[in-house]
């Protein structure tokens, strides 16, 4: 089992407007000789490894408000966070950025990020045991190094605020039922909303979380594990990243979430009821989102969320005994 693909609508480097490519090449100081579009991930824009005529290699991301009007906001957020990450973190360094902004004459201003190029690859899917062990160890080490967060809450915001704004999926479904909700969720909806309501308190903490860890956001090199794509970073409990990561692992052929949780050292000492509350929030988020229409430029997102929601609901059923 590998699950639905994590894929947005990629734009080729050559399809960027001339002035945007010119700005990048001007900063590079050399024309681009080759550009290899990278698959994986949900950004509906450019994601390409560039090789310049003079032999320099970089990775570039670029979006505008078409087709997805939210994409530039995430790229701008990633610029702020990437600039604030410590040099010791296993994260590709942000080298340069370019932001046209959105004006009256140009509502689709381009946002460009240029990173150092990492000679790595994504983990194999279905997950392989040795690679998953490497990623879990890297996540734990990174969480310890990012506690307390080196990025201020004013830049990264908190998991508490995210849960309050976006994490009440069961509560939303209780207020606004949507067609297609599965029978188990319908039966336990009121109880699920009650458990989920405790998630913000349970998740509050001082660790900088990646908050979007999946196979397509990991790069493996022989020596190191890199976490890429940081626009969703938040402050919270160190174990929260594992809870959000676990459904995608099981969906993509890895072990079930309960096993992953047992193997993750940073869970030691955490309140089991608090973990269940966050699992409920994860399940509610993916379940609710999967019932919405697909956002522009992200045709596979809802199926990806639905598959993770199914895993998270099964995980929660095991912990609560609700069958």
Please report, for the chain, the start and end positions of each structural domain, with discontinuous segments joined by +. Answer: 13-116, 129-320
Chain segment 16-39, per-residue pLDDT in tens: 999 999 999 999 999 999 999 987
Please answer whether residues 189 and 168 qualify as being in contact, where contact means their C-beta atoms are separated by less than 8 angstroms: no
How high is the pLDDT of residue 193? 98
How high is the pLDDT of residue 10? 84
How high is the pLDDT of residue 34? 98
Sign, CA dihedral 288-290-294-300, equals: positive
Cβ neighbours of residue 136 closer than 8 Å, sequence gap 6 or more:
242, 260, 263, 264
pTM, to two decimals = 0.93
Higher pLDDT, 300 or 138: 138
Please answer whether residues 158 and 236 qualify as being in contact, where contact means their C-beta atoms are separated by less than 8 angstroms: yes
How high is the pLDDT of residue 250? 97
Alpha-carbon Rg for the chain, nearest whole angstrom, is 20
Angle at 87 between CA 82 and CA 89, to 5 degrees: 80
How high is the pLDDT of residue 215? 95
How high is the pLDDT of residue 297? 82
How high is the pLDDT of residue 82? 96
How high is the pLDDT of residue 67? 85
Please answer whether residues 250 and 135 qualify as being in contact, where contact means their C-beta atoms are separated by less than 8 angstroms: no
How high is the pLDDT of residue 102? 64
Length of the chain measured in residues: 323
Q: How confident is the model at residue 2 (pLDDT cuts 50, 70, 90)?
A: low
Asked if pLDDT for residue 197 goes beyond 70, the answer is: yes
Asked if pLDDT for residue 66 goes beyond 90, the answer is: no
Asked if pLDDT for residue 7 goes beyond 60, the answer is: no
Q: How confident is the model at residue 318 (pLDDT cuts 50, 70, 90)?
A: very high
Calculate the average pLDDT of the chain. 94
Cβ neighbours of residue 262 closer than 8 Å, sequence gap 6 or more:
none
Q: How far is CA 244 from CA 6, 47, 122, 137, 203, in A?
A: 15, 24, 18, 16, 12
Q: Which CATH number fits domain 13-116: 3.10.20.30, 3.30.200.20, 2.102.10.10, 3.40.50.10490?
A: 3.30.200.20
Please answer whether residues 103 and 84 qualify as being in contact, where contact means their C-beta atoms are separated by less than 8 angstroms: no
Asked if pLDDT for residue 208 goes beyond 90, the answer is: yes
Phi and psi based region of residue 74 (left: phi greater than 0; alpha: psi -120 to 50; beta: remaining): alpha
Cβ neighbours of residue 33 closer than 8 Å, sequence gap 6 or more:
51, 52, 53
Per the DSSP assignment, residues forming a β-bridge with 218 are 227
Angle at 2 between CA 136 and CA 283, to 5 degrees: 70
- Phi, psi of 63, rounded to the nearest 5 degrees: -145, 160
Asked if pLDDT for residue 42 goes beyond 80, the answer is: no
Question: What is the Cα–Cα distance from 182 to 311, expressed in whole angstroms?
Answer: 13
| CATH class as words, domain 129-320 | alpha beta
CA 288 to chain centre: 17
CA 132 to chain centre: 17
Pairing of strands 218-220, 225-227: antiparallel
Asked if pLDDT for residue 9 goes beyond 80, the answer is: no
Question: Among 69-73, 143-147, 236-240, whose mean pLDDT is lowest?
Answer: 69-73
Chain segment 96-145, per-residue pLDDT in tens: 999 998 655 555 799 999 999 999 999 999 999 999 999 999 999 999 99
C-beta contacts of 172-176 below 8 A and 24+ residues apart: 172/284, 172/288, 173/284, 173/287, 173/288
How high is the pLDDT of residue 8? 61
């Amino acid at each position: 089992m590998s699950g639905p693909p994590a894929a947005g609508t990629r734009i080729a480097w050559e399809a960027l407007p001339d002035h945007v490519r010119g700005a990048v090449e001007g900063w590079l100081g050399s024309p681009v000789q080759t550009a290899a579009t990278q698959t994986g991930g949900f950004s509906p824009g450019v994601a390409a490894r560039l090789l310049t005529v003079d032999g320099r290699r970089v990775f570039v991301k670029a979006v505008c408000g078409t087709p997805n009007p939210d994409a530039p906001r995430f790229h701008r957020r990633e610029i702020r966070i990437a600039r604030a990450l410590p040099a010791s973190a296993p994260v590709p360094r942000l080298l340069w950025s370019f932001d046209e902004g959105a004006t009256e004459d140009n509502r689709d201003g381009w946002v460009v990020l240029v990173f150092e190029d990492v000679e790595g690859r994504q983990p194999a899917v279905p997950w392989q045991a040795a690679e998953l062990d490497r990623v879990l160890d890297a996540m734990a080490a990174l969480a310890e190094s990012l506690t307390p967060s080196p990025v201020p809450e004013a830049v990264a915001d908190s998991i508490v605020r995210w849960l309050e704004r976006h994490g009440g999926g069961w509560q939303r479904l209780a207020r606004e039922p949507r067609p297609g909700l599965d029978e188990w969720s319908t039966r336990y909806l009121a109880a699920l909303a009650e458990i989920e309501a405790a998630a913000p308190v349970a998740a509050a903490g001082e660790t900088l979380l990646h908050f979007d860890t999946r196979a397509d956001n990991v790069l493996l090199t022989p020596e190191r594990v890199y976490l890429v794509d940081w626009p969703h970073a938040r402050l919270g409990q160190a174990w929260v990243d594992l809870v959000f990561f676990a459904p995608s692992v099981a969906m993509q052929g890895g072990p079930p979430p309960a096993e992953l949780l047992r193997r993750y050292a940073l869970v030691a000492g955490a309140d089991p009821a608090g973990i269940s509350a966050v699992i409920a929030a994860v399940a509610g988020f993916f379940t609710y989102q999967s019932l919405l229409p697909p956002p522009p430029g992200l045709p596979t997102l809802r199926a990806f969320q639905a598959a993770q929601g199914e895993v998270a609901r099964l995980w929660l059923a095991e912990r609560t005994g609700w069958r």
